[in-house]
Amino acid sequence: ESFVAGSGRWRVKLDNGQSKDIKPENLAKAPVQASGGILHSGCTVLLRGLKAAQLNGQQGSLETFLSATGRWRVKLVNGEIKDLKPENLEILEPEVMDVAESVPGENVSMKVQAAAEEVPSESGPGFY
């Protein structure tokens, strides 16, 4: 959800709906998933489950992941740009992702890592 500067922890919303403040060293990067696979720039998606019902069923192309909001910038077929949550996107055409051209950290979200697990070496005070 957000970084809590006072405690130096990330506020994370768990699958059960609870929010917890977690130390950065207990977090790991994980791919952002949607119905149909892993989201990445360039893939074609179908919009679904939106409160703005007129958008449901429309198609678009993923442009970039906005880490500050946890949303994808989607260019709709009609040219409109919308910033949408991953759970409101269904992959229609995954296209092949060229790892050499992808932006590091572009398709990641934070997942809580069990305290008993070994923390990856790239973790530390500045890891997020």
Within 8 A by CB and 6+ apart from 33, the residues are 39, 86
Task: Give me the pLDDT at residue 63, please.
Answer: 92
Q: What is the mean pLDDT of residues 27-33?
A: 58
- The confidence band for 9, taking pLDDT boundaries of 50, 70 and 90, is confident
Could you tell me if residue 54 is left (phi over 0), alpha (psi between -120 and 50 degrees) or otherwise beta? alpha
Q: Report the alpha-carbon distance of residue 128 to residue 123 in Å, rounded.
A: 8
Q: Is the entire prediction scored with pTM above 0.85?
A: no
Mean residue pLDDT across the chain = 73
pLDDT(62) > 80: yes
Q: What is the mean pLDDT of residues 37-57?
A: 89
Task: Give me the pLDDT at residue 117, please.
Answer: 38
Minimum mean pLDDT range among 17-21, 33-37, 79-83: 33-37
Task: Give me the pLDDT at residue 94, please.
Answer: 57
